[in-house]
Amino acid sequence: MIESDEPSLTRRSRVEFAEGELQWGGRFAVAPDAALLAFGSSLEDDLVLAPFDVRCSRAHVTALTEGGLLSGVAAGELHAALDVVAEEITDGTFVAFARAGAFEDVHGAIDARVRELAPDAGATLHAGRSRNDQVATTLLLYARDRATTGARLALTIARAFEERALGALEDGTLLAATTHWQPAQPVSLAFWLDGAAQAFVRAAARFARVARDAARFCPLGSAALAGSSLPLDRAAAARELGFAEPSRNALDTVGDRDVALDLLHAAARAVVAASRPSEEFVLWTTPAFGYARLGDAAATGSSLMPQKKNPDPFELVRGAAARTLGTYTGALATTSGIGLSYHRDLQETKAQIVHGTEHALAALDAFARAFAHLHFNAETMEARAAEGYTVATDVADAMIAAGSTAREAHAAVGERVLLAERQGRALDDGDVAALGVGDAPLDGAASIRAKKTSGSPNPERVAASIAATQRELDAIAQELA
């Protein structure tokens, strides 16, 4: 007889373990180590998934019922119990229940609560279902919801930029655009705002694609990795959850996190889109720049220096971009080292996807709110629009139009800039005459009027870009409706 180092159990302790809060345990001789069980718990990470798990469980009831595995009475009891759980999720009492039970995850907590509310019917809820397909389905429902939220946030921000661009276009406000943070060329504020909006248009479209992809294939019914011997009606469950069809291969499905990763990627890219203008706004609100002022409702002060007024929301958005990018990289790396089907490592991706997405969406909301409190100083912008010889390129273009080569014009205008800089003055008509050009733009307004190409700061081109962008935003919004 082989001796075991496992302590013997009484019948009573075996039954308590098997019928306790865990969804497994019958083949185990002893209860799990409490510390290791706690280490493996994802409850705090995935409580946000609770409403989606309830929807998933309702659809599984449908799959069982339509497959002839559940009576109408039992199905009604399960739906009634799930109604109660949904209410408790909304009012917060479910969270207290789940934490008090120290469950492994939110999925097990919901299953246990249903069994409390409907003991007989509740014991049938998990038939033909694994947490593997349950989690995969719940994550897709979460991804669809949050991608839609992200798209709408990005649309809101893009519209806010374009609305202010229209006002700036009417006012004709100019500023010196920069490269390397050095004065480069005069542009209109409307051109700058329209340019900043474009990244959010792309972010909205990216989120919308994730929402579409999250509605394609329903994992429910894939079970652990090989489907079920029970006649589950997977198509009925898929329809109820708004999926186009059941997933094709159970082995792939239970370990697939591509759409959820795409959600986190879209979220990270959207926060990067907010981070870049945030960097400019932080600089613009400094006294040295003076291009903008942040309203009191969006600024913070110093605990030591009474005069301070800090653009913290924009700085925190920059930080959120770095954090979300790191989270996305970690989540992607987690999936790279595992085989097909489900492995417990994927629990880490669930936490990363949820935390990363929630933080990114909060950052986008904060950016939108702070931008509403940002006020531009048109006078300061205008005064500096032509400083730093920003019209030099226009003068060189005028030389090229008159017959000079690009290299000749570049060298000749550079020499005039050097001379003017030594003399402490701007480029003037004397420089233009010395270059043998009859006329050339020497101020910001003339510079942008001289632009001829599409996508330039010429007011007509900016107006066309704003109109096209608004149409694209309308199309994305229509898709989300």
Q: Which two tokens stand for residue 255?
A: 């370990």
User: Left, alpha or beta for 110 (phi > 0: left; psi -120 to 50: alpha)?
Assistant: alpha
Sign, CA torsion 428/433/434/436: positive
- Whether 447 is catalytic is no
Catalytic choice (180, 229, 303, 336): 180
Task: Please state the three-class secondary structure of 416-435 as a single string.
Answer: HHHHHHHHCCCCCHHHHHHC
Number of residues written out for the chain = 481
Task: Specify which residues 218 forms β-bridges with.
Answer: 246
Q: How far apart are CA 54 and CA 107, in angstroms?
A: 9
- Whether 278 is catalytic is no
The amino acid occupying position 268 is A
Catalytic choice (71, 302, 375, 454): 302
User: Left, alpha or beta for 223 (phi > 0: left; psi -120 to 50: alpha)?
Assistant: left
Residue 355 contacts residue 363 (beta carbons within 8 Å): no
Q: How far apart are CA 16 and CA 193, in angstroms?
A: 65
Label the pairing between strands 292-294 and 374-376.
antiparallel
Measure Cα distances from 70 to 22, 360, 364, 378 in Å: 23, 42, 45, 69
Q: E strands along 248-363, which residues?
A: 292-294
**Residues noted as catalytic:** 180, 302
